[in-house]
Amino acid sequence: MRKNEARARADALFAGFGPDGFHKAYPAQLGGGMRQLAALLRTVVPERPVLLLDEPFGALDSLTRTEMQLWPAGMWQRHRWTVVLVTHDIREAVLLSDTVHVLSPRPATAPGFAATERRILDSLRGTTAVTTP
């Protein structure tokens, strides 16, 4: 995306992401929640079909984190974004997710992943048919 196009898109979305008067502020002039909103704005500007957010609120204090957890649900619904949210916070997962996937203990793998991978590889080699759960 060209710089001018990205700026125009960010300008159009800014009202939902930050308070007036901080449009041209530098990161050092923003609090933690506002910096996180700016990071989320940078994430959505390219208009990707799926957004990946890895622990987006993990570095925030408790009060700011709670506020920030309420904000995305409305934005995601309004803009119809598909979001994959990685979190270790069970409350956050339940609050913000339609579907929750739980990984196994370390090393983290999806339950049944190895068996599904094996069936697919066997199918590609022509040794078995693929059926996934």
| Assigned token pair, 34 | 């506002």
78/22 same-domain check: yes
Alpha helices by DSSP H, listed for the chain, are: 3-17, 32-44, 62-79, 90-96, 113-124
131/109 same-domain check: yes
Cβ neighbours, 10 Å, residue 63: 9
Q: Which domain holds residue 74?
A: 3-101
State residue 34's pLDDT score: 81
84/111 same-domain check: no
pLDDT of 130 higher than 60 = no
- Structural domain count, the chain: 2
| Assigned token pair, 55 | 């622990």
The answer to whether residues 50 and 82 touch, using CB atoms and an 8 Å cutoff, is yes
Average pLDDT, the chain: 79
> What is the average per-residue pLDDT within 113-126?
78
Distance CA 111, CA 115 (A): 9
> What is the average per-residue pLDDT within 38-44?
81
User: Tokens 């979001």 appear where?
Assistant: 83
> What is the average per-residue pLDDT within 66-88?
81
For 13-32, the pLDDT digits (tens) are 877 776 667 777 887 888 87
**Among 108, 86, 113, residue whose Cα is nearest residue 97:** 86
Share of residues in the chain with pLDDT > 90 (%): 1
State residue 42's pLDDT score: 82
User: Tokens 């990071």 appear where?
Assistant: 39
29/14 same-domain check: yes
pTM of the model: 0.62
